[in-house]
Structures are given as structure tokens and as C-alpha cells.
Amino acid sequence: MCSLIPAEFSLRSQALIKLPGLSEEETLQILPDTGKIIFLGYRGSIAHGTYVPQESKDSIDDKDIIGVFVGSEKHYLGFGEQDTYERKFGPWDAVHYEITKLFRLLIKSNPNVLSLLFLHDAAIIFEDELGRSLRTNRRKCFISKAAYKAFIGYAHGQLHRMTHHAFEGYMGAKRKALVEKYSFDTKNAAHLIRLLRMGIEFLIEGELHVLRHDSHELLAIKRGEWSLDRVKEEADRLFILAHEAYVRSPLPNKPDSDKAESWLIEIIKSSLGYPT
């Protein structure tokens, strides 16, 4: 399937990856320290179509991105290197996963990582041939009913944080002000409803609609236009629908981990220039 051997390039000298509004030097500050980037795209509110620019007085959104890199030869044949890099620069908030770590998260149907496979073209910042193969071959091994447990688990986490972790350290002043105003975390509330709706759609269709058709409604929730009771009522309804979707889902019961492992090995060998 793969046998793709992209031209080698140096992460530190190549100019293919540049984030809007940042210089090449600034961009490099939020890229991994090692390996070869094969994919970089938006995640979070920008990908979902719910981003509120920071110039707005009501904005509580960062510019979130997700990257995938193939490690150096030392990572696979030596003592190993870091497999996750988190970087921040101004409003930019980046997380980069080494390809093996990414596949492990995909096998678990991690909602944040699974979304990468279904990003729309406008949300792609950079991808080479190997990076593009992640999306074009997304049905190869990761689409399964296991997503139910992952999405429901994340949704329950948002439901709990919505009211029980009102002033966690990660909150900026604007977000804390919204919590004080509405007595619950409206951003968590929007995440809760989005996760449940996305999970239901995925179980029924096998498609993850990352760019949300209901973005106007999610933005209304984030702005505090829904009461806490209304959010909880909608969540209760969606939890029931999610279980029904799981029972009726035509998707395989679990991911094909053997096929995923073979594909992973092929990607790493191709990236390092080994015969495939």
C-alpha cells in the first residue's frame, strides 16, 4: 500500500512549514526537536469551525495544531527519544506525536487524534506523501465501534469538569470570568455536546465530521446562551442516542491492530529509506 519514499529534508532548514503570522524562526520554536514532520494540521476550535479570534473580547480560544513526525533512526534502533512534544508560542498551542505513539492512540480511538484522519483540506497546514496517506487510507484499520467507549469517556470527563473544576490552573482570566458569570464552564459544555454528536455520527456513518455543521449552536453554548439545565438535558438525550447508535452500528467491533502494525512498520521504513 505504502512503498512511498519521500525526498529527505532537514526540519531545521526546510521552509515548507510556516504558520500564518509567524516567521520561519518562530515556527521552528513550536516544532519537535527531532525527527521528520509528515503532517501538521489544525485541531480544536479552528478545525471545528468554532474559533473566536483572540481580538474579540469574548475569545477564550488558542490556535491549536497537531503534528505527526517519524523519529530518527536512533529512536527506533537505539535508546529511543521523546515521543510527544508540546509547544506553545503566543496564541499557538501545539502537540506533536511520533508516528508509533499516534498509532497507539488511534487504536484506542482517541477522539482528538482520530479527528486528524478526517480533517478537511483547509485545516491542513502541511503534509508529505506519508502524511497524506494517513487520511487517504483512514479506513484501513482504525474505524470501529471501539470509538463508543472513547467518545463517551471523554464526554463524561467534560461533563464532570463543566461544573467541578471551575477554576483549574489552565484557565485564563477571560474563561474564569465566564465561569463566574454562568456558574459552569461553557467551553467544557460545548465540548461535551460536540463529542457526543460526533460520536453518534461516527458510529452510524463511519465518518467523523470534524468541521461542524452545528458550529453556530456550539458557539452559542460556548458564549453562555444555553443554561446549565439545557446543556444537561441535551447531554442526557445524546448519551441515550449514543448507546443506541453503538448497538446498531455497522462498524467492526474493534480496530485491526495487526494491519495497523504492518502499516506502521511500512511508514517508518519508508521514511528512513529502508526497503519496504
Model confidence band, residue 10 (pLDDT cutoffs 50, 70, 90): very low
* 38-55 average pLDDT score: 91
Give the model's pLDDT for residue 160.
87
Q: Do both 79 and 110 map to the same domain?
A: yes
12 pLDDT more than 70: no
* 50-65 average pLDDT score: 82
Cell of 275: 526497503
| CATH number of the CATH domain containing 31 | 3.30.460
pLDDT one-digit tens code per residue, 204-214: 999 999 999 99
Give the model's pLDDT for residue 173.
74
* 256-274 average pLDDT score: 93
Q: Do both 114 and 192 map to the same domain?
A: no
Give the model's pLDDT for residue 5.
26
pLDDT one-digit tens code per residue, 133-184: 999 999 889 999 999 999 999 999 999 888 775 555 556 677 788 888 888 9
Q: Do both 107 and 162 map to the same domain?
A: no
* Per-residue 3-state assignment (H helix, E strand, C coil) for the chain: CCCCCCCCCCCCCCCCCCCCCCCHHHHHCCCCCCCEEEEEEECHHHHHCCCCCCCCCCCCCCEEEEEEEECCHHHHHCCCCCCEEEEEECCEEEEEEEHHHHHHHHHCCCHHHHHHHHCCHHHEEEECHHHHHHHHCCCCCCCCCCHHHHHHHHHHHHHHHHHHCCCCCCCCHHHHHHHHHHCCCHHHHHHHHHHHHHHHHHHHHCCCCCCCCCHHHHHHHHCCCCCHHHHHHHHHHHHHHHHHHHHHCCCCCCCCHHHHHHHHHHHHHHHHCCCC
Length of the chain: 276
Q: Domain containing 244: what range?
A: 147-248
Does a structural domain hold residue 94?
yes
Q: Do both 40 and 136 map to the same domain?
A: yes
Give the model's pLDDT for residue 167.
54
Does a structural domain hold residue 115?
yes
Give the model's pLDDT for residue 170.
58
pLDDT one-digit tens code per residue, 93-141: 999 999 999 999 999 999 999 999 999 999 999 999 999 999 999 988 9
29 pLDDT more than 50: yes
Give the model's pLDDT for residue 169.
54
Q: Do both 48 and 123 map to the same domain?
A: yes
pTM: 0.88
Q: Number of folded domains in the chain?
A: 2
224 pLDDT more than 70: yes
Q: Do both 46 and 173 map to the same domain?
A: no
Q: Do both 132 and 171 map to the same domain?
A: no
Give the model's pLDDT for residue 164.
73
The β-bridge partners of 63 are 92
Does a structural domain hold residue 219?
yes
* 3-32 average pLDDT score: 63
Q: Do both 132 and 261 map to the same domain?
A: yes
Q: Do both 240 and 264 map to the same domain?
A: no
